[in-house]
Structure 1
């Protein structure tokens, strides 16, 4: 836990990186490009999959979410909100998160969801000037995340 300035003590931190399964998918996608150019360009069997892998790896890495809860603020990637506007946080298991992402979703909600994280946290917002009713954020540790926001 790091401390920088008064009120910025980190209470919870999580880095939501792509799963091994997602990396396997981009490896298979990059390898399959070799099959597309095999009849046309022999050197492309090596060059094209490497270029494809680098581009897909860069894209997949850019989908990483960093979640930081300090004493005063919540940061989810580039978004942040003062904790005084957070009224409640709920840890969702896989089934509740699936419903929250589907039929239970409010179109005004702020979403930071990733397909490789089946669990989520719903963070209710209590700010009269903000039309966003809640944030729905993927997490691998939703109970710890929600507890950090509630404390």
Structure 2
């Protein structure tokens, strides 16, 4: 088994990491008048816990072995239509008024781009998937390549 055609972690940008460390600094300043050593220890623990929480909650987007995984959800690419790349304005429109509340969104506001993919399975109540990506063109190409690979495999079998 080789590397996945597409694999990305939706880590926060510099502002997100600064917020984690900024919160730890606020804890430090708040506890300094009480006990300086305790303040340093609690602020350090707060920073570590914050970094661990960010690492655990940063969703992974992956296309491999015929499946799109976005966060905890997954769907076979054979049940997906043609993916469309969205820029920040496209994402805003896709999530704005008039959007379908049944759509699955693995969305992170600090990631500008996304891919929107229609679900073609008539039994699935989810009409589309909206998946944030820093490399939406690469994600789209990986989905299309996996769809072509599956179609070629189906033709060989049938």
Q: State the TM-score, normalizing by the size of structure 1.
A: 0.86
Cα-to-partner distance string for 1:30-75 (whole Å, 9 max, x where unaligned): 0111121222233222011111111111111122222221352112
Q: State the TM-score, normalizing by the size of structure 2.
A: 0.82
Runs (4 or more) in structure 1 with deviation over 3 Å come to none
Equivalences, count: 145
**Which structure shows the bigger proportion of residues in strand conformation?**
1
Give ranges in structure 2 of 5+ residues lacking alignment: 146-158
The 2-side partners of 1:10 and 1:59 are apart by 25
The 2-side partners of 1:101 and 1:48 are apart by 39
* Matched position secondary structure for 1:31: helix
Tell me whether 1:138 sits opposite 2:132 in the alignment.
Answer: yes
The 1-side partners of 2:91 and 2:139 are apart by 14
Cα-to-partner distance string for 1:4-29 (whole Å, 9 max, x where unaligned): xxxxx733222222222211111111
Tell me whether 1:108 sits opposite 2:102 in the alignment.
Answer: yes
* Matched position secondary structure for 2:122: coil
Give ranges in structure 1 of 5+ residues lacking alignment: 4-8
Q: Over the residues paired in the alignment, what is the CA RMSD in angstroms?
A: 1.8
The match for 1:60 is 54
